[in-house]
Amino acid sequence: MWAREDTGVPRWWHVVLPVVIVTLVGVFQLSYRDAGGWNPPNSWQIFVYASACLALLLRYRHPVAVASVTVVLSATVPVIHPHTVIVDAPSILALYTVARHTDRRTAWTLGAAAAVLLTAGSAWWLPGHLANIRNILPANYIGIAVAVGDSVRANRALLHQAREKAREAERTREEEARRRVRDERIRIARDLHDVVAHHITLVNAQAGVAHHLLDRQPEQARQALAGIKETSRAALDELRATVGLLRQDDDPPQSRQPTPGFAQAGALVDSFVSAGFDVGLTSSGAARPLAGPSDLAAYRILQEALTNAGKHGTQHRAHVDLAYTRNHLELTVTNPARAGHGGAGTGHGLIGMRERAVSSGGSCTAQLRSDGLYEVRAVLPLRTSDATAG
């Protein structure tokens, strides 16, 4: 009851000060006479009016009960002679509190009942009774009190709703920011996995070739070692470009490298060939650019498929087939394989390929075929404008 309101003003001021004002107004009205004179109110008037005013101190805790008591007491005042009260201030304050702190139906129902009782009380003492024009006063000031209280309640409810929406919007923005950070971490983790797995596989194959040829064909071994150097340099460049995504906006531009795209697929295949892989490449249909997400996805899927061929295949041989249709690029990589034969792996590469394909609007499947070939097949969308034009 005595807590502080949203305005920062102590609640007890809101409780006590209006009651003091209502009491002063009541004393003025009870003392006034129609003839213009002033007489002190009698003890019964003081008792009834004081009881109504004291009840108002509890109006925040029990608004309906206090309003009911106040209206009943105010309706009995006209019975006590002499009576000249025109506007019943305690009832106005009580009904305003009901309308502000309860629902609309309760406020207007109680207001209608109060209008009937107070109108009947006015007709009791007014000259001419029901024919006196002042009989309409109770209905007027009660209607105003309930309407103002209901308006204040509605405005406070709208303000509360607006604040809740603002808090919900803030929570939604924070959740969206966390989701984007999480998605970006997953994407960077995929990139790191693809880069490291690809280049380490090539380095391992080139090191094996160099070790095998070191004694009998040192010149070819030297070329294999040179390939290791080139592959490791490329790995560092791609790692630097990937980690560069984590840099700040004010970092120097030269610290950032462009993200690889499918236009570099030929260089990617050549890097495997130089490491001793036999990679065949066929293409059908008119080659066209891929959509932005599909461009990187196609490159990474091809990279991971060839890496898996080197790690898990039964031979250092693979075939890449590119089929351009009206709306899509069908990328198929096959290599000799058999069930139960494969290197160490966690399965993250296959998961990453599927995630990349799905995120770009395509699909990716991987399976061991009955003819002894392991097939990775990705279907990725071309650029919208190109697909539409076709």
Helices (H) then strands (E): counts for the chain = 11, 5
Of the chain, the percentage scoring pLDDT greater than 90 comes to 11
pLDDT at residue 9 above 80?
no
Task: Please report the pLDDT score of residue 43 as a whole number.
Answer: 78
Crossing angle between the packed helical segments 43-55 and 11-31, to the nearest 10 degrees: 160
Q: How many CB atoms lie within 10 A of CB 192?
A: 14
- Give yes or no for a contact between 202 and 275, defined as CB atoms under 8 angstroms apart: yes
Looking at mean pLDDT, say which of 39-43, 157-161, 203-207, 343-347 comes out highest.
157-161
- Give yes or no for a contact between 361 and 291, defined as CB atoms under 8 angstroms apart: yes
- The pLDDT tens digits of the residues spanning 282-330 come to 999 888 888 778 888 898 899 888 888 888 888 888 999 999 998 899 9
What is the C-alpha radius of gyration for the chain, rounded to an integer number of angstroms? 43
- Identity of the amino acid at 220: Q
Pick from 305, 286, 316: nearest CA to 352: 305
pLDDT at residue 375 above 90?
yes
Question: Would you say domain 263-390 falls under CATH 3.30.565.10?
Answer: yes
Pick from 290, 308, 366, 362: nearest CA to 332: 366
Task: Please report the pLDDT score of residue 385 as a whole number.
Answer: 43
SS (H, E, C) 163-178: HHHHHHHHHHHHHHHH
Q: How many CB atoms lie within 10 A of CB 51?
A: 13
Task: Please report the pLDDT score of residue 374 as a whole number.
Answer: 92
pLDDT at residue 10 above 50?
no
Q: How far is CA 124 from the centre of its chain?
A: 63
Instruction: Report residue 334's pLDDT band, with 50, 70 and 90 as the boundaries.
Output: very high
Looking at mean pLDDT, say which of 150-159, 220-229, 251-260 comes out highest.
150-159
- The structure tokens listed for 8 are 């920062």
Q: Exposure pattern of 88-99 as b/e (b: 16+ CB <10 Å)?
A: bbbbbbbbbbbb
Kindly report the average pLDDT of the chain as a whole number.
77
Task: Please report the pLDDT score of residue 61 as a whole number.
Answer: 87
- The pLDDT tens digits of the residues spanning 23-47 come to 888 777 777 666 566 677 777 878 8
Q: Exposure pattern of 176-190 as b/e (b: 16+ CB <10 Å)?
A: eeeeeeeeeeebeeb
- Give yes or no for a contact between 238 and 194, defined as CB atoms under 8 angstroms apart: no
The DSSP letter of residue 41 is: P
pLDDT at residue 160 above 80?
yes
Lowest-pLDDT range, 13-17, 34-38, 84-88?
34-38
Query: Where do you find CATH 3.30.565.10 in the chain?
Result: 263-390
Q: Is the pTM of this model over 0.75?
A: no
- Give yes or no for a contact between 146 and 107, defined as CB atoms under 8 angstroms apart: yes
Task: Please report the pLDDT score of residue 142 as a whole number.
Answer: 87
